[in-house]
């Protein structure tokens, strides 16, 4: 009995997801010099199947970026809406970001490639910067509100935000610059939080 269109669509969706999962790792490791053949090999699919889902490498690369930026924007909006004190929000946000760098380092590495690559289209670079700016604004808001309630240590909020951003950026690069340290000495979120919150 032939498959239904719904069953065929499920197969196509699964194939596309498999290719995207492989592409995260390949692009994070090689940047924009990675090829469709590299991605197909990593996904365990044929070269032709990869092209059936994505017209070219640029289309695949942009699909990854769009997925990442949309997920980041949705996550930041969620943190602003959830109940709790600024200190609780800050703890949840930093913990989630640190753990994502531990469990899915390829995602933050890909964004680093995007921002550092002069060949990245301006609209993609601007989208990435907008998400980054939204995160910095959210982080600063939580720091300022937390300071008003005595949950966050008294210090220049912009310096605190800059320090946190620098540490997160360093954790994003750690798998490449020092893989042994990444695997054996990756810091817990509470270490970063202790810089912001004396009781963390």
Kindly state the average pLDDT of the residues 55-73: 79
By CB atoms closer than 10 A (0-12, 13-18, 19+), residue 133 is: exposed
Residues 6+ apart with CB under 8 A from 116: none
Instruction: Please report which confidence band the pLDDT of residue 1 belongs to, taking 50, 70 and 90 as the band edges.
Output: low
> Helices (H) and strands (E) in the chain — how many of each?
10, 0
Cβ burial of 122 (10 Å; 0-12, 13-18, 19+) is exposed
pLDDT band at 121 (very low <50, low <70, confident <90, very high): confident
* Domains of the chain, earliest start first: 1-54 (1.10.10), 57-196 (1.10.357.10)
Contact 182, 105 (CB under 8 A): yes
For residues 176 and 1, the model is more confident at 176
Counted residue by residue, the chain has a size of 200
pTM greater than 0.85 (yes/no): no
pLDDT tens, position by position, 179-190: 899 999 999 999
pLDDT at position 200 is 64
pLDDT at site 173? 86
Task: Tell me which residue has tokens 């590299």.
Answer: 38
């Amino acid at each position: 009995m032939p498959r239904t269109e719904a069953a065929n669509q499920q197969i196509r969706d699964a194939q596309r997801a498999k290719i995207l999962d492989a592409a995260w790792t390949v692009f994070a490791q090689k940047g924009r010099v990675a090829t469709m053949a590299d991605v197909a090999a990593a996904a365990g699919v044929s070269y032709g199947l990869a092209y059936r889902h994505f017209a070219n490498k640029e289309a695949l690369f942009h699909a990854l970026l769009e997925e990442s930026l949309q997920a980041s924007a949705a996550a930041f909006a969620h943190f602003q809406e959830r109940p709790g004190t600024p200190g609780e929000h800050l703890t949840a946000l930093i913990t989630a970001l640190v753990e994502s760098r531990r469990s899915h380092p390829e995602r933050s590495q890909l964004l680093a490639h995007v921002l550092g690559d002069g060949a990245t289209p301006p609209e993609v670079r601007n989208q990435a910067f907008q998400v980054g700016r939204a995160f910095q604004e959210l982080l600063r808001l939580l720091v300022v509100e937390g300071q008003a309630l005595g949950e966050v240590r008294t210090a220049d909020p912009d310096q605190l935000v800059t320090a946190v951003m620098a540490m997160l950026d360093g954790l994003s690069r750690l798998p490449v610059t020092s893989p042994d340290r990444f695997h054996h000495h990756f810091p817990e979120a509470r270490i970063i939080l202790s810089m912001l919150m004396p009781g963390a």
